[in-house]
Chain A
Amino acid sequence: SQQGEEDPQALSIQEGENATMNCSYKTSINNLQWYRQNSGRGLVHLILIRSNEREKHSGRLRVTLDTSKKSSSLLITASRAADTASYFCATPESGKLIFGQGTTLQVKP
């Protein structure tokens, strides 16, 4: 089953702008994770937010979690060309991580 769904599927912004990606999920979770995938590379873990947390920061990343709406958002502030990548949310279900289809972010210099 597809647990996480991301929105938008693609996002193109100018360097310096903020980028916001959203993720919705279906079942109750104890955490939600965000990963980044650069073209032709493996996924890299960015941040994990637990179900009892509402917001978490890591450098230029800000993640929010609204368990009542079953949604999360990832905000990248002051984007850089190097942030160009696909971003995935992942939620645990039956002992495994279920990934969304990702948001492809392009940051133009």
Chain B
Amino acid sequence: DTAVSQTPKYLVTQMGNDKSIKCEQNLGHDTMYWYKQDSKKFLKIMFSYNNKELIINETVPNRFSPKSPDKAHLNLHINSLELGDSAVYFCASSHLGGTLNEQFFGPGTRLTVL
């Protein structure tokens, strides 16, 4: 009965590789997000989708491409991984107007780029 799930939980890869992180929510929310948390626990939004449409795109390198096949899924694909991409990536979801309501977070994916 997991509300927001992410796979994989851990991802270790070499520089230059391409990888994907998957996210699914079963809460019936229409808005989903990707956040990046660095080693100092600073959490920053990367993308936000509402009903499969991109509504927020922060200053994120083009190597990061989110894809939302349906309202319940928001995947993150990263090309040509760099050392600086090492972080914990969180998926979250909420009803429309997520800043007016609580957001539900997944457990995170710890990405380590070697």
Q: Which residues of A contact B (CB under 8 A)?
A: 30-31, 33, 35, 37, 40-45, 48, 86, 88, 92-93, 95-99, 101-102, 104
Question: Is B27 positioned at the interface, with any CB of A under 8 Å from its CB?
Answer: no
A44 — which chain B residues lie within 8 A by C-beta?
105
Question: Do B4 and A45 touch across chains, with their CB atoms under 8 A apart?
Answer: no
Q: How far is the CA of A96 from the CA of B108 in the complex (A)?
A: 19
In the complex, are the beta carbons of B102 and A33 less than 8 A apart? yes
- Comparing B35-43, B61-69, B71-79, the segment that makes contact with chain A is B35-43
Could you show 23 A-B contacts with beta carbons less than 8 Å apart?
Answer: A30-B100, A33-B102, A41-B108, A42-B90, A42-B92, A42-B105, A43-B43, A43-B92, A43-B103, A48-B102, A88-B43, A93-B99, A95-B56, A95-B99, A96-B45, A96-B58, A97-B45, A97-B98, A97-B103, A98-B45, A99-B42, A99-B44, A104-B41
CB-based nearest A residue for B108 = A42
CB under 8 Å from chain A, chain B span 45-59:
45, 48, 55-56, 58
Shortest distance between the CB of A34 and any CB in chain B (Å): 10
Contact with B99, one of A96, A101, A104 (Cβ below 8 angstroms): A96
CA gap between A42 and B92 in the complex, in Å: 9
Cross-chain contact B48 with A86 (CB below 8 angstroms): no
A95 touches B4 (CB 8 A): no
**Docked CA distance A43–B91 (Å):** 10
Pick from A30, A41, A92, A99: contact of B43, CB below 8 A.
A99
